[in-house]
Amino acid sequence: MGLLSRKATCNSHGQDSSYFLGWLEYEKNPYHHLHNPNGIIQMGLAENQLSFDLLETWLAKNPEAVGCKRDGQSIFRELALFQDYHGLPAFKKALVDFMAEIRGNKVSFDPNNIVLTAGATSANETLMFCLAEHCDAFLLPTPYYPGFDRDLKWRTGVEIVPIHCTSSNCFRITASATEEAYQQAQKKNLTVKGILITNPSNPLGTTMTRPELNLLINFITEKQIHLISDEIYSGTVFNSPSFISIIEALKDMNMEKNNRVHIVYSLSKDLGLPGFRVGAIYSNDPTVVSAAVKMSSFGLVSSQTQYLLSVMLSDKKFRNHYIVKNQNRLLKRQRKLVSGLEKSGIRCLESNAGLFCWVDMRHLLSSDTFEAEMELWERIIYDVKLNISPGSSCHCNEPGWFRVCFANMSEDTLELAMQRLKSFVGSIKKHNHQELEKLRKESHVGKWIFRLPFQSFNEQDQR
């Protein structure tokens, strides 16, 4: 009999995904402009480091919030003592006001329906425990965040069934693909308990359209299942079309109090505070809220963190200034990445949100296979020294797509990354041209069409 549990010894965590392996390679050889200029540049981490100065300026002007004081009096003892699982009322009120402002105040949130969690990871897992049994299934549109294989499945035993979306319609969700995924789950004798979406999408960097949201609402209503809308990137929408929250779509359909729809939120992306571990579940189902509050005892947000952020997010002037300024900076940085990639002959899916772009490198593959995708990914990590996330780690069913992050580094570092990539693509083009000339000479034939190890941009497939 083993001394450890199957959970401790199994390999179902997802840590062997290329998404996480890229992080490991980066950690062995991290880029630093002075100490390690030839190291790997981290472009696989969706962190927002563009607006720290706005936060730091506010903190400098509000030392009482940092020093655990209120009206000049210390509240250290109050914060140091054990707090109720429900969280500080002042923080929950400030958080729902912030969520409403991000959504243009078109909708409002009841602070009694929100549950605080230690980040969105904890929020999503808690909802799995609340809504599904071991071996039940949730449908997820592809491509999806690689961490969901850990967050949703590892401890809960819930299965993920993909809704396959394709580049033919810019990876939009369709009724046929959703129904097909539902039928596939049934063929596997899985009980489908719901659908989980990320809106804005990680990794696509796009917001969902109203027809997509309406489709999903109608689908879960027909099937009598749940819908989880992970909206942790809602404040990063930097271009049109504007963001439509699932709760806004429900309101427009006179279904605002639907208790089968749940929202996950976090301050990790919109405020750039992943280290603060602040997440939330919003639900109109009192049983879900009650159960989630009990489960939150395994991952509470510290009282000091709640107090600091309650003061910060209650500052309406700062809140508005930060949202606008941060979105403008994200737009500028995204355009810089897209422009740099275009100089190398690489295109992206058109995006309007998030901290990353969904990058099309299909023309650089040696063949239309996931093996070729991994070969290219390894060359980019070890030769170009950039860590980007291959589409296969996001369960994309088309080889050659990659998620590339742009907000977790300085502008100079991004420029260096684009220079490295341009040199790499240039070497491929040169190699392909030389091989083509060699083969033509050896064949003594006028015009042949060859499939080279890496296709030139003049002869690439137009896919």
132 and 110 Cβ atoms separated by less than 8 Å: no
Q: Which two tokens stand for residue 215?
A: 């489709």
For residue 71, give Cα distances in angstroms to 80, 89, 142, 274, 347.
18, 18, 50, 29, 54
**Annotated catalytic residue within 41, 232, 323, 381:** 232
* Least confident span in 64-78, 233-247, 303-317, 318-332: 64-78
Q: What are phi and psi of 278, to 5 degrees?
A: -120, 110
Q: Which residue has the tokens 């909802």?
A: 127
Q: Do 332 and 346 belong to one domain?
A: yes
Average pLDDT over residues 217-243: 97
Q: Which pLDDT score, from 0 to 100, does residue 449 have?
A: 45
Q: What is the pLDDT of residue 429?
A: 78
Average pLDDT over residues 402-425: 97
| Domain-located, residue 392 | yes
- Count other C-beta atoms under 10 Å from residue 312's C-beta: 23
Predicted confidence band at 450 (pLDDT cuts at 50, 70, 90)? very low
Average pLDDT score over residue span 84-89: 87
Domain holding 168: CATH number?
3.40.640.10
Does the annotation mark 145 as catalytic? yes
pLDDT one-digit tens code per residue, 13-71: 777 788 889 989 999 999 999 999 999 999 999 999 999 999 999 999 999 998 888 98
Q: What average pLDDT does range 160-171 have in this prediction?
A: 97
Q: For residue 59, tell me if it sits in a domain.
A: no
pLDDT reading at 77 higher than 90: no
pLDDT above 70 covers what percent of the chain?
Answer: 94
Q: Would you place residue 104 in the very low, low, confident or very high pLDDT band (cuts 50, 70, 90)?
A: very high
Find the domain containing 305 and state its range: 68-317
The whole-number pLDDT of residue 456 equals 38
Partnered with residue 404 across adjacent β-strands are 357
**Domain shared by 38 and 122, yes or no:** no
Give the pLDDT score at 454: 47
In terms of domains, do 255 and 285 share one?
yes
* Identity of the amino acid at 252: D
Same domain, residue pair 325 and 311: no
> Catalytic site residue 230?
yes
CA-to-CA distance for 90 and 197, rounded, in angstroms? 29
Q: Determine, yes or no, domain membership for 145.
A: yes
For residues 178 and 326, membership in a common domain is answered with: no
Q: Are residues 37 and 130 both part of a single domain?
A: no
pLDDT value for 428: 84
Buried b (16+ CB within 10 A) or exposed e, 330-366: bbebbeebbebbeebbbebbebbbbbbbbbbbbbbbe
Q: What is the pLDDT of residue 17?
A: 83
Using CB atoms within 10 Å of the CB of residue 287, give its burial: 0 to 12 exposed, 13 to 18 middle, 19+ buried.
exposed
227/176 same-domain check: yes
* 448 within domain boundaries: no
Instruction: Return the structure tokens found at 77.
Output: 């003892």
CB atoms within 10 A of CB 274: 18
Q: Let me know if 85 is a catalytic residue.
A: no
Last residue of a domain, one of 317, 347, 365: 317
pLDDT (average), residues 160-166: 98
Q: Based on the fold, state whether residues 259 and 182 are members of the same structural domain.
A: yes
Pairing outcome for strands 347-348 and 69-70: unpaired
- The residue annotated as part of the active site, out of 19, 144, 145, 265, is 145
pLDDT at 446 over 60: no
Q: Residue 81: what pLDDT?
A: 85
Band of residue 1 on the pLDDT scale cut at 50, 70, 90: low
Q: State the pLDDT at residue 258.
A: 92
Q: What angle do CA 322, 326, 329 make, to 5 degrees?
A: 145
Note whether 19 and 8 are within 8 A (CB).
no
Query: What average pLDDT does this structure show over 311-333?
Result: 96
Structural contact between residues 252 and 213, judged by C-beta atoms closer than 8 angstroms: no
Domain boundary among 270, 295, 317: 317
Annotated catalytic residue within 269, 270, 385, 388: 269
279 pLDDT higher than 90: yes
Integer Cα distance of 231 and 82 in angstroms = 30
Q: Which of 230, 270, 285, 360 is catalytic?
A: 230
Is residue 306 domain-resident? yes
pLDDT at 455 over 80: no
Whether 48 is covered by a domain: the verdict is: yes
Residues 76, 33 share a domain: no
pLDDT higher than 60, residue 163: yes
**pLDDT for 78:** 84
pLDDT digits (tens, 9 = 90+) for 370-393: 999 999 999 999 999 999 999 999
Q: In whole angstroms, what is the distance from residue 163 CA to residue 140 CA? A: 6
Residue 234 amino acid letter:
S
Residues 172 and 301 in one domain: yes
Domain end call among 285, 317, 349: 317
282: annotated active-site residue: no
Can you give the CATH number for the domain in which 374 is found? 3.90.1150.10
Q: Specify if 456 maps to a domain.
A: no
Query: Can you give the pLDDT at residue 461?
Result: 37
The mean of the pLDDT values for the chain is: 92
Cβ neighbours of residue 338 closer than 8 Å, sequence gap 6 or more: 348, 357
3-state SS of the chain is: CCCCCHHHHCCCCCCCCHHHHHHHHHHHCECECCCECCCEEECCCCCCCCCHHHHHHHHHHCHHHHCCEECCEECHHHHHCCCCCCCCHHHHHHHHHHHHHHCCCCCCCCHHHEEEECHHHHHHHHHHHHHCCCCCEEEEECCCCCCHHHHCCCCCCCEEEEECCCHHHCCCCCHHHHHHHHHHHHHCCCCEEEEEEECCCCCCCCCCCHHHHHHHHHHHHHHCCEEEEECCCHHHCCCCCCCCCHHHHHHHCCCCCCCCEEEEEECCCCCCCHHHCCEEEEECCHHHHHHHHHHHHHCCCCHHHHHHHHHHHCCHHHHHHHHHHHHHHHHHHHHHHHHHHHHCCCEECCCCCCCEEEEECHHHCCCCCHHHHHHHHHHHHHHHCEECEEHHHHCCCCCCEEEEECCCCCHHHHHHHHHHHHHHHHHHHHHHHHHHHHHHHHHCCCCCCCCCCCCCHHHCCCC
Q: Are residues 223 and 238 in the same domain?
A: yes
Residue that has been written with the tokens 């596939």 in this structure? 184
Q: Which residue has the higher pLDDT, 72 or 137?
A: 137
Answer whether residue 436 shows pLDDT above 80.
no
Is there a domain that residue 178 lies in? yes
Domain count, the chain: 2
Quickly state the pLDDT bin for 460 (edges 50, 70, 90): very low
* Residues 267, 379 within the same domain: no
What's residue 435's pLDDT?
A: 65
